[in-house]
Structure 1
C-alpha cells in the first residue's frame, strides 16, 4: 500500500483559549493535549512515521515529550511557518522517501476515532483526497460586515470539516506548490487540493472529534476523555 505518514500541526498560539499557555500544551487528564494526539497515531500500526510541527519556542519541550512518552514514530519535530499551510509544507518536505499517503491532523484534536481515520484513508486511496466531516446541526447564516443577514444556505448541504485530511502525497505536494507560486493562503489542505480541480470526498466522522480551542471546550474534552475516548476506549 506504500508508506503512510502523518503530519501533526501544533504551531498555533491559541489566543482564543485566553491562557498564557498555548492550548496544545494544557493538561487533559494526566497529559498535555498534544501528547494524547500523538499517542493516538503512535498506536495505529499502519502509520510509518509522524512529523510534528510546532512553534519555534516549543521545539525542546516537544522533543522532550517524544523522549518521555516513548513516541518512537515521531521522527521529526520541526518549527512551523507563518501560516498553517507553511507548517504543513515543512512537514511534507520532511517525509521519508517512499511515502505514498499522508494524513494531516490538528494537534488539538485528540479524540478522533481510529475507525474514522481508516475510513478517511480508504476513501483517499479510492479517490486521492478525503476529509473527515460532520453534518452541521445549527442553521447557518451568511452575514455581512455590518452583521446583517444576507442569506441562509440549505443546512443539508453544509458540513463542518475536521481532521485528519487524507491525500495521495504527490497530489498534496502539487497543491501546496501551486498555492505557494500563486501566494494563495487557504484555510485547510483540502482547499488547496480543490484549487487544482480535484474532487475532495467527505467521510462522516462524529461530534466527539472536537478541536479544543476555547475554555468552554476543556470540560467537554475531560468528559469525552473519561467516558468515550480515553485510554483503551478508542
Structure 2
C-alpha cells in the first residue's frame, strides 16, 4: 500500500497582518510549514507533494525542503486561486500508483502519526475519512441581521481538521468533476470549503469522522502564534 500526503502552503495568510506569508513565519526558530512537513517526513507516509504560492517553488526548495532535508517531498507545485484548485493540482502531482492520499493544511503544525494512522484506517474501511473533534461550545445559527434563529444539538457537531484522507482514485476523480462543474457550483451558491464537501457533493460515499486532537490547531491569526509556541513548549 502506498500513501501520499499533499501539504497545502499556498495561502496568503491575510489575517496575520504581516508582510511575511503565514507559512514562512517562524515559530520557535522554525518556519510554520516545517512542522507539518516534519511530521509527515517522520511518519509512514511514502511521498509528500508540497503545494505553494505562485513564484515560491525555488524558495521552498532551497529554504525549506533542502535546508531541512525533507527527502519524501517528491514534488513542489504551484497552487491555484482557491483551495480546491490547489488540492486538484496537488492530486495531479501525486504518483499514479498511490492508494491513499492525506490532504493536510500546512498551517496545522501539530498533526501526529497517531492522527494520520486513524485517518488512514478510516479511509481503508470507508473510502473517505476526515479528522476532527467534538465542539466544546454551544453553537448558534444566526440570520443576516445577527439574531439567533436556532441552537443545534452540540452532540451532533464536530469542528473539522486535517488531514482528510481518501482513496486516491476516488478523490482525484471527484476533484476533476469539481473542475468541470465549478462555475455551476458557484452559481448555485455552494461554497466548497474542504475536501469532504467534494465527496459529499459529487458522490454517494459517506465521509467517516475520527478524532484528531484539540492541539491540532490551524494557525490563522497572530494570537495563534502564541498558542502554537505554548504547545511546542509543553511537548
Does TM, scored on the shorter chain, surpass 0.5? yes
Distance 1:198 1:178 in 2: 15
Q: Structure 1 or 2: larger helix share?
A: 2
**Do residues 225 (structure 1) and 232 (structure 2) align?**
yes
Partner of 1:187: 193
- CA deviations 1:89-137 (Å, max 9, x no partner) are 0111011121110000000101012111101111101110100000011
Distance 1:110 1:38 in 2: 8
Q: Normalising to structure 1: TM-score of the pair?
A: 0.94
Task: Name the SS of the counterpart of 2:75 in structure 1.
Answer: strand
Aligned Cα RMSD in Å?
1.0
How many residue pairs end up in the alignment? 226
**Do residues 135 (structure 1) and 154 (structure 2) align?**
no
Partner of 1:50: 48
Task: Name the SS of the counterpart of 1:186 in structure 2.
Answer: coil
Deviates more, 1:57-66 or 1:156-165: 57-66
Alignment of structure 1 residues 71-150 onto 2, 5 Å: 71-150=70-149
Contact 2:2-2:46 at 8 Å conserved across structures: yes
Q: Normalising to structure 2: TM-score of the pair?
A: 0.94
Task: Name the SS of the counterpart of 1:153 in structure 2.
Answer: coil
Alignment of structure 1 residues 19-30 onto 2, 5 Å: 19-30=18-29
Contiguous gaps of at least 5 residues in structure 1: 229-234
Task: Name the SS of the counterpart of 2:100 in structure 1.
Answer: strand
Q: For 2:58, which of 60, 72, 85 is the aligned residue?
A: 60
Distance 2:42 2:96 in 1: 22
Contact 2:39-2:112 at 8 Å conserved across structures: no
After TM superposition, where is structure 1 displaced by more than 4 Å over at least 4 residues in a row?
A: none
Structure 1 residue 57 displacement after superposition: 2.7
Contiguous gaps of at least 5 residues in structure 2: 186-190
Q: For 2:214, which of 207, 212, 215 is the aligned residue?
A: 207
Task: Name the SS of the counterpart of 2:152 in structure 1.
Answer: coil
Distance 1:114 1:48 in 2: 13
